[in-house]
Structure 1
């Protein structure tokens, strides 16, 4: 076997990452520890050939072919590529440009150009798969991004996309315009039995996921209230299921969460106002929570508060309390930060907050790998380091099972057997 010096290893990384070509050799990776998506192992090795993991186990039992590239990763942890559960590649941080202006004023061409950079930053941060939960006014540009990545035109994570997403009339969109003026809403309006047609149309145009806004702010009133009725939500879920798609719900009120859970959605996004009763119902129905802690944290900072200078805002206190209630109820927790509200490539911010709010680092790593993969129906491809799955791998210096922020100390990123980052 070949043992690569750091110089030649960097050259391999550059060639594979720059051109996106499949590695034609085997890679035998031997780190200090392997987190396989569920458990940590020491003295393990992982064998990769082409785009797949072909063997894992004790290092002295894994045999590579003559000529295989041997990578001894001292002081490092090897993990499955991380999975971002709630992203918007077509948005950029709101302290740069407010959401209203991005939706109503920025052209789709400009937003797609930015999104190609966002995709690359996401991949290089170790997130090899994402759910992109709405183009936010850019139509089906997310479908095009997904295609460009899968065809190797641009680097980025594998994507599950929600297309335009679905809102109830009057409950969504940029504000402050003359009511006689039609403005780009940022999602597609549907009401009554018409939700069936809209769900079918979105699936037909490439949506992997049907996303609904189960509650939102009506008109100029800043109070968040439920939008779709129980009947409408049930119709959406029934229609999506018949098309083989899951439904996810933006919901931040207890009633919106309750209706969405009873309708049969698979994940609740945000869940700010969840109650113990609602979380028990979610647990009973097998509905997961994607808490998006980092988005609230970022928005709090954008308002001008500085750490140590102001009391902790009520919204942050609420997120902490509801997150702890969800954990107490045993709700499945997905890892997803609503990235786009904050900077792409800073996805680890959500995982750090999950630990800060009460989860163990090991449980957070499970959420960002095997649990996200299972909940998002990706577990036949990614989420674990086991033979037969895609060679989506992340190597970091240190031990994120002890210090989650070690996920920022990236040594390399591999997706589909191609190394993109040294």
Structure 2
């Protein structure tokens, strides 16, 4: 009889552990919209079951208290534009990453990057293109979901889609065939076929390049015809997916918006007319400020001592116009161009370029959850998933506090507690 009794005790222990209740007690709570003092947050399993003043919580004695003194509790951050399979271009330029690093090496790097992102408070991430590594991002997502490696929950785009001849690596004579950073297509039928192929291989969304440089050193130009964009969006939305567009020229942005994409990535050349059209069509804007800031520094720009480069001047201008237009602004830094785990750089630059800290934090939590159709994420609210982080101080006053993530819980599991 001893063995069954022992098994019973184990089962009782596991059942009680599965129903473990934790009460998080910080100095303040940013709930995804507003800041509150004297709030606590109760977690049971992988769900938030209460958020509010402790006086409103019943059965307080049943909770294990976790004090987060001096900290602000908030929803886990939702990174809107990343490339887990890339690493900073000042380490290895993009061409060499695509041409010389195997998919196996890049997958291992991606696992390291995923862990760094999670520990920096990124509990959910859109990965917008494997950049020459096929469907490695799909399998990176799978290993995270199966608990093999730690990382954010992922929304992945697979290889992305470009117009034939527009993407790189480039610079080789016509007799040399090189792997490309995305899948090229031409024509309506081929575009539809590739969208379906990518969805069939596990892409959660489709990324297209609405404009790009046809030759190295040239300014970007529109790539896809309107009918091609329309067809790709129709093929994706029919299957319950959506399309995002790399676009930096007004015409490329316009075609993508009219075609029905859900977010515009980069948008450096955006005008007030274009941003107003985005707002009218309910298309969100992901400015990726930190990537441009990083690449200009890689080229030798000393941002502390030298005037803004032309690219930075234009970026500041387009971001101000976006703010004035009232379009939804997505937090997403194009991380991978710069170091994974330093996602805070985008938040700091959003504020430096004119956004209020609280609005930037909303962008990284509740706004991104809404724009990306992530029900049950992005807020500290009863019934929502327990994706929760804590940072030192008050980031609604000093956005730099987002560098100091001390507590990370994803899906009710604690990955960091300092």
Same fold (TM over 0.5): yes
Pairwise TM-score range, normalised by the shorter structure: over 0.9
Give distance in 1, aligned partners of 2:146 and 2:214: 41
- Partner residue in 1 for 2:51: 56
Match of 2:193 among 193, 197, 200: 197
Deviations 1:264-291 (A, max 9, x none): 1000000000011111111110100000
- Is 1:40 matched up with 2:13? no
- Partner residue in 2 for 1:255: 251
- Partner residue in 1 for 2:220: 224
The answer for unaligned runs of 5 or more in structure 2 is 1-16
- Partner residue in 1 for 2:408: 413
Query: Per-residue deviation at 1:220?
Result: 3.8
Match of 2:144 among 136, 146, 149: 149
Match of 1:184 among 165, 179, 186: 179
Checking the alignment, whether the CA contact within 8 Å between 1:170 and 1:219 is kept in structure 2 is no
- Is 1:103 matched up with 2:98? yes
- Partner residue in 2 for 1:10: none
For residue 408 of structure 2, give the secondary structure of its aligned residue in structure 1.
strand
- Partner residue in 2 for 1:364: 360
Give distance in 1, aligned partners of 2:19 and 2:100: 46
Checking the alignment, whether the CA contact within 8 Å between 1:275 and 1:322 is kept in structure 2 is yes
Query: Per-residue deviation at 1:140?
Result: 0.4
Give distance in 2, aligned partners of 1:341 and 1:40: 32
Deviations 1:56-91 (A, max 9, x none): 111111134645210122211000000000000000
Query: Per-residue deviation at 1:243?
Result: 0.8
- Is 1:391 matched up with 2:347? no
The answer for unaligned runs of 5 or more in structure 1 is 1-21
Match of 2:126 among 101, 111, 131: 131
Give distance in 2, aligned partners of 1:309 and 1:51: 48
Tell me how large the CA RMSD over aligned residues is.
1.1
Deviations 1:15-58 (A, max 9, x none): xxxxxxx8652110111111111111111111001111111111
Give distance in 1, aligned partners of 2:59 and 2:51: 11
Match of 1:324 among 320, 326, 346: 320
Deviations 1:164-187 (A, max 9, x none): 100000000112212221111110
Give distance in 2, aligned partners of 1:376 and 1:299: 27
- Partner residue in 2 for 1:295: 291
TM-score, normalised to structure 1, is: 0.93
- Partner residue in 2 for 1:18: none
Query: Per-residue deviation at 1:221?
Result: 5.2
Give distance in 2, aligned partners of 1:347 and 1:105: 26
- Partner residue in 2 for 1:94: 89
Stretches of 4+ aligned residues off by more than 4 angstroms: 64-67
Match of 1:335 among 331, 334, 341: 331
- Partner residue in 2 for 1:17: none
- Is 1:209 matched up with 2:205? yes
- Is 1:234 matched up with 2:230? yes
Give distance in 2, aligned partners of 1:25 and 1:60: 21
For residue 310 of structure 1, give the secondary structure of its aligned residue in structure 2.
coil
Give distance in 2, aligned partners of 1:24 and 1:408: 32
Query: Per-residue deviation at 1:312?
Result: 1.1
1:104-119 matches, within 5 Å, as 104-119=99-114
Deviations 1:360-419 (A, max 9, x none): 0010000000000000011x1310011111100011110000001111112210001111
- Partner residue in 2 for 1:78: 73
Checking the alignment, whether the CA contact within 8 Å between 1:30 and 1:59 is kept in structure 2 is no
Give distance in 1, aligned partners of 2:335 and 2:119: 15
